[in-house]
């Protein structure tokens, strides 16, 4: 400190600028390493010398070493704390206690960090009561001496009801303060496919919130925020989330799901989702609290199958959260406390290792980390396998940028700096080959502002399609320049960029992963989803139904591809120089027209083919378009009959709908239907 003061004085005496800037850059890497023996028990007594840490194959010096001893001994029973009585000899003054200096101790040393997360936005009152009772039962009976518990709730906002504490009474009091029944169903009415009521509240939708409609983004975003709030603590954390399943309404929620998982992995958080509905008995006709289904679905088994599929879809999101973050999901169990005790037993004693990375490069590359034991064999180590270095994208060379794209595509961790949504459609070329157009939508507000002097930005795209065996079935690598007239340079934030790619695939099940990078700041985003192309059914085969809010000339496209894609020459969505732009998020305004396109295959008579679009709210049909007759089959694709609609939406009230396209083949006495959830906003 004295040397620093002399240095500052010397600078002042020399007449230099008194504003002195000191810069320091360190990169401390923290690893939580679980060491277990062959029976899964934690191994204690290891020293710093027993560990070897390697980054990118090079040995590192361990600068931080700490052992977190976590026990499963029961916490002492709650009750008034008794202070020890002071001893004072009669007639003699009390002797002063000897002064002692103890080293500073972290409040989280040797503590198991558990977060009880109550998702009231996803629980009806009955489920809220079960979640509250199971949490109270755990705190009263199963709290251990090592546990520090935090309580969070997610309703209209994310709230911390109680900070980390081992005070049983404070935790119990915080949970008993819950106002059950006041915070349920905050996301609005459920999707119409779930037998919602006919009357729903109007929706106010803007371009910035399109990605949050029709999916569980709101709940997943709350979990992501909770994980980020815990990222400042280097210790291992577990979030036990109570909810009534994790609704799945479309592909859009996959972007937020990967963002939530990514935030949890970086924050060293594991999710332990608990389905508070427990083991459900599903009566074929529905429970007593539900309206009886109409039609023949109860007798054919269709209603029961849809009921089971809905339940499985709700649990799929919970399972993905758990498996991708190293946790476990508690499903179909009435003992909800098992979800918390599972996290207790998983978070056993572990070692905290830290080292300062000697690599100063800020290139954003993935640095692989390995931890080995020098002398102990037969032990199992569990730790994160690496981290991403800081990056300065503007310093990347062309080869660095290309390598970054391919490396990022192959890594399992998602990128969420650039939000995007993706829509996959398919159209039959012949009975064994299908054309699969993919539309990737990027909101304009997520892109950096462009200058009037240089009204453009560049985007790079890379994608892979893998079949059911994990083999690469198709891939794409492309780039576009987003060009705007000088007068419209500031309008990009109110527009959306839609990029098209196309593949030719046979029928089967596939997984597609798309990665987009914006080349001004280097931000990247990924979207990964599954899709399937069916083989020829016995009935009338329909393609996917494409919904769009506009048709635009190809020359007016904002994004211009650097290379022409030959597969776009016969693109089904392009007609007479006009292209139907898919509405990836299925959000329309009442003042717009909805453009609908689909194809029917192998009808008995193309000229007799008829189709209509119906809109449903709950069980009630609120609108039906005029029937449309097919003109003729597509010349270069025998057996493919196009069907086009223009549906005015001005007569529809704002809200959620199920749009059903019905196609009838009178000559073949066949019909087929396709349903799509969508939103009509003000």
Q: Per-residue pLDDT tens for 542-597?
A: 999 999 988 877 665 554 444 445 555 568 888 877 888 888 888 898 888 999 99
Could you tell me the two tokens for 312? 């499985």
420 contacts 477 by C-beta, under 8 angstroms: no
- Count Cβ atoms below 10 Å from residue 619 Cβ, excluding itself: 13
Burial class of residue 163, CB neighbours in 10 A (0-12, 13-18, 19+): exposed
- Count Cβ atoms below 10 Å from residue 52 Cβ, excluding itself: 13
Beta strands per DSSP E along 391-543: 421-424, 427-430, 433-443, 456-467, 472-483, 496-505, 508-518, 524-533, 541-542
Half-sphere exposure of 55 (CA within 13 A, CB side): 23
Question: What superfamily in CATH does domain 586-682 come from?
Answer: Immunoglobulins (2.60.40.10)
DSSP state letter for 346: H
Q: What angle do CA 532, 533, 534 make, to 5 degrees?
A: 110
DSSP state letter for 341: H
| Measured distance CA(415)–CA(419) in Å, rounded | 9
| 121-145 pLDDT, tens digit each | 778 888 888 889 999 999 998 899 8
In the predicted model, what is the mean pLDDT of residues 213-242?
A: 81
Q: Tell me the residue length of the chain.
A: 682
Q: Report the percentage of the chain scoring pLDDT > 70.
A: 72
Burial class of residue 542, CB neighbours in 10 A (0-12, 13-18, 19+): buried
- Which positions ≥6 away from 640 have C-beta within 8 Å? 427, 428, 599, 600, 601, 633, 634
* 261 sits in which H/E element: helix 253-266
494 contacts 488 by C-beta, under 8 angstroms: no
With tokens 């959306």, the residue in question is: 496
Select from 611, 615, 612 the least CA-distant residue to 649.
615
Could you tell me the two tokens for 9? 């004085």
| 31-59 pLDDT, tens digit each | 888 898 888 888 988 999 999 999 989 99
- Taking the CA atoms of the chain, what radius of gyration do you get in angstroms? 30
**DSSP of 150-176:** EEEEESSSEEEEEEEE--HHHHHHHHH
| Measured distance CA(141)–CA(133) in Å, rounded | 12
Which position has the higher pLDDT, 312 or 518? Answer: 518
Fold exhibited by the domain 398-541+553-577: Immunoglobulin-like (2.60.40)
Q: Please give the pLDDT value at position 362.
A: 74
Question: What superfamily in CATH does domain 112-194+219-286+314-348 come from?
Answer: von Willebrand factor, type A domain (3.40.50.410)
Confidence of residue 81 (pLDDT cuts 50, 70, 90): very low
- Which positions ≥6 away from 16 have C-beta within 8 Å? none
| Measured distance CA(96)–CA(638) in Å, rounded | 101
pLDDT of 188 strictly over 80: no
Q: Is 0.85 topped by the overall pTM?
A: no
Could you tell me the two tokens for 42? 């934690």
- Count Cβ atoms below 10 Å from residue 90 Cβ, excluding itself: 4
| Measured distance CA(129)–CA(665) in Å, rounded | 52
φ, ψ of residue 146 in degrees (nearest 5): -95, -5
Q: Please give the pLDDT value at position 239.
A: 94
Q: What is the mean pLDDT of the chain?
A: 77
546: which strand partners? 597
| 445-503 pLDDT, tens digit each | 777 776 555 556 788 999 999 998 888 899 988 888 776 655 555 556 667 788 888 89
- Which positions ≥6 away from 20 have C-beta within 8 Å? 8, 11
With tokens 């009585």, the residue in question is: 85
CA dihedral 593, 599, 605, 606 (to 10 degrees): 60
User: Out of 13-22, 495-504, 510-519, which region has the weakest mean confidence (pLDDT)?
Assistant: 13-22
φ, ψ of residue 416 in degrees (nearest 5): -130, 10
Could you tell me the two tokens for 124? 């009806």
Q: What angle do CA 530, 532, 533 make, to 5 degrees?
A: 155
Confidence of residue 535 (pLDDT cuts 50, 70, 90): confident
| Measured distance CA(525)–CA(387) in Å, rounded | 17
**Residue 179 three-state SS:** coil
- Which positions ≥6 away from 200 have C-beta within 8 Å? 188, 189, 617, 655, 656
143 contacts 149 by C-beta, under 8 angstroms: yes
User: Out of 163-172, 272-281, 300-309, 609-618, which region has the weakest mean confidence (pLDDT)?
Assistant: 300-309
């Amino acid at each position: 400190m004295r040397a620093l003061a002399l240095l500052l004085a010397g600078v002042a005496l020399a007449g230099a600028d008194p504003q002195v800037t000191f810069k320091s850059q360190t990169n401390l890497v923290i690893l939580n390493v679980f060491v277990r023996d062959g029976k899964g028990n934690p191994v204690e007594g290891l020293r710093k010398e027993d560990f070897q840490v390697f980054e990118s194959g090079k040995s590192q010096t361990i600068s931080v070493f700490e052992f977190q001893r976590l026990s499963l001994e029961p916490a002492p029973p709650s009750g008034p704390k008794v202070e020890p009585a002071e001893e004072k000899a009669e007639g003699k003054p009390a002797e002063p206690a000897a002064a002692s200096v103890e080293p500073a101790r972290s409040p989280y040393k040797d503590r198991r960090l558990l977060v009880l997360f109550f998702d009231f936005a996803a629980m009806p009152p009955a489920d809220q009561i079960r979640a509250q009772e199971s949490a109270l039962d755990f705190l009263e009976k199963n709290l251990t001496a090592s546990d520090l518990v935090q309580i969070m709730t997610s309703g209209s906002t994310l709230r911390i009801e109680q900070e980390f504490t081992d005070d049983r009474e404070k935790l119990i009091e915080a949970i008993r303060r819950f106002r059950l029944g006041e915070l349920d169903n905050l996301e609005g009415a459920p999707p119409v496919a779930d037998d919602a009521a006919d009357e729903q509240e109007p929706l106010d939708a803007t371009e910035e919130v399109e990605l949050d409609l029709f999916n569980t983004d709101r709940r997943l975003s709350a979990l992501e925020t909770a994980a980020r709030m815990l990222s400042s603590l280097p210790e291992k954390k577990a979030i036990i989330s109570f909810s009534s399943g994790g609704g799945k309404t479309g592909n859009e929620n996959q972007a937020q799901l990967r963002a939530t998982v990514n935030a949890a992995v970086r924050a060293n958080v594991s999710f332990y989702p608990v389905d508070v509905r427990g083991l459900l008995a599903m009566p074929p006709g529905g429970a007593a609290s539900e309206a009886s289904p109409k039609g023949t679905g109860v007798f054919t088994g269709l209603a029961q199958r849809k009921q089971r599929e809905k339940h499985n879809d709700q649990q799929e999101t919970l399972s993905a959260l758990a498996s991708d973050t190293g946790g476990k999901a508690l499903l179909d169990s009435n003992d909800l406390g098992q979800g918390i005790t599972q996290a207790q037993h998983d978070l056993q004693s572990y070692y905290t290792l830290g080292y300062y990375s000697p690599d100063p490069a800020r290139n954003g590359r993935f640095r692989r980390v390995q931890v080995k034991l020098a002398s102990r064999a037969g032990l199992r180590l569990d730790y994160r396998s690496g981290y991403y270095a800081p990056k300065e994208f503007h310093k990347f060379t062309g080869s660095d940028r290309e390598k970054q794209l391919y490396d990022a595509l192959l890594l399992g961790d998602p990128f969420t700096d650039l939000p995007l949504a993706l829509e996959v459609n398919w159209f039959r070329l012949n009975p064994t080959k299908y054309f699969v157009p993919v539309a990737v939508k990027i909101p304009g507000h997520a892109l950096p502002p462009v200058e009037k002097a240089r009204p453009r930005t560049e985007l790079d795209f890379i994608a892979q399609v893998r079949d059911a065996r994990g083999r690469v079935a198709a891939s794409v690598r492309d780039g576009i320049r987003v060009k705007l007239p000088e007068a419209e340079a500031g309008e990009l934030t109110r527009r959306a960029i839609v990029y098209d790619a196309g593949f030719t695939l046979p029928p089967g099940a596939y997984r597609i992963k798309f990665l987009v990078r914006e080349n001004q700041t280097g931000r990247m985003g990924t979207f990964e989803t599954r899709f399937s192309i069916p083989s020829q059914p016995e009935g009338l085969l329909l393609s996917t139904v494409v919904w769009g809010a506009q048709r635009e000339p190809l020359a007016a496209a904002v994004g211009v591809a650097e290379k022409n894609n030959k597969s776009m020459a016969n693109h089904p969505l392009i007609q007479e120089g006009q292209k139907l732009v898919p509405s990836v998020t299925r959000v329309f305004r009442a003042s717009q027209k909805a453009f609908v396109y689909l194809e029917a295959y192998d009808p008995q008579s193309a000229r007799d083919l008829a189709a209509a679009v119906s809109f449903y709210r709950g069980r009630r049909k609120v609108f039906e378009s005029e029937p449309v007759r097919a003109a003729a089959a597509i010349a270069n694709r025998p057996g493919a009959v196009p069907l086009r609609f223009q549906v005015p939406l001005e007569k529809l009230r704002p809200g959620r709908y199920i749009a059903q396209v019905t196609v009838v083949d009178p000559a073949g006495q066949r019909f087929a239907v396709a349903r799509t959830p969508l939103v009509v906003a003000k």
